Amino acid sequence: MATGLVRILPRLAAVAICLLFIYGLLYRPLSLSTMNGHPRPDMSWVLSQQDLRLLVSNGSLTLSPRGRCPTLLTIIVCSAVRNAAARLAIRNSWARDAHAPYVRVFFLLGHMVNDTLQDKVEEESRLFGDIIQEGFIDTYNNLTVKSVVLLKWANEHCPQSRFVLKTDDDMFINVPNLITLLRTVGRKKLLLGCLISRATPVRDWSSKWYVPSFVYADHTYPDYLSGTGYVMSREVVKSLLQTALATPFFYLEDIFVTGIVAQKAAVKPMNHDGFKYYKRKNNVCIFRKLITGHNMSPKELQSMWAKVRGRGVMCS
């Protein structure tokens, strides 16, 4: 028995050294950043990849919208539980241009540990019937989970929709312009939005976008689309979902879904000038031509939509 223990000890020591090395990689720079007064990046996503993928696969739908998905375009707005005002502003503005049975808008939420907010979300769901809520915790590092849940829900519930638009609750969507575009598109493998090329991983451990080289070793990311808004054909939704569930988790959702996963699935992201990830000038003539506008407050959304639909301003 003593001889066996002697043989095992070197192996145990080697394992312990490896664990200490990994711990040092993950936490030593974070401790330094805290000491220097910088915020500590949350690296828990590195340690919990498998659990998050299982969560997406198994599913835990807690709220589901009423009615059927449309035939042309399903718009799914990623929203936070607390952002009820943003959702209401969308319903009172550009979502009014989403006419059944061709287009419909849904809101995708996770959960927060707050019973009062959850009660309000459930009441909102009963009132409007457009809430999709899954059981993951709604945090910045779970945005990838939310986007893959979006793919899963659209694949399971909207097989009749030719296209799915993923967007956020601070976005202005020019629905008529998007419909016009999609009715001229013949591609079955469509992944379209604002293309970002030759982006490089952030190696500064004080940044919230910090990505260690042992997690992503390449010097550049694949071409990807801004997560503020991109449209997918139903064939691409299914392909991205299947590939995402077989790909190691990465917390930057747009890079993961439309870059890493799309490249692995042999789906090429394409650029369209109507999609932009920056805030547009509040110019009604610009908004009449675009497809997406970013970083809009609830008040700005409603005001701009009214101007775009109105006849008070003539544009050349």
The domain ranges of the chain are 52-309
pLDDT digits 0-9 by tens, 62-71: 899 999 999 9
pLDDT at residue number 35: 35
pTM: 0.84
Longest Cα separation, the chain: 91
Q: Which fold has domain 52-309?
A: Spore Coat Polysaccharide Biosynthesis Protein SpsA; Chain A (3.90.550)
Q: Are strands 224-233 and 131-137 parallel, antiparallel or unpaired?
A: unpaired
pLDDT at residue number 264: 98
Report d(CA 305, CA 4) in Å as an integer. Answer: 76
pLDDT at residue number 114: 85
Report d(CA 71, CA 125) in Å as an integer. Answer: 23
Helices (H), 158-297: 175-182, 234-244, 253-255, 262-264, 284-287
pLDDT at residue number 138: 87
Which candidate, 214, 207, 218, places its Cα nearest to that of 255?
A: 218
pLDDT along the chain (316 residues), means of 10: 55 53 41 39 55 61 91 98 98 95 96 90 97 89 91 95 98 97 88 97 87 91 98 98 91 95 98 92 92 96 95 82
Token pair of 22, please? 């990994």
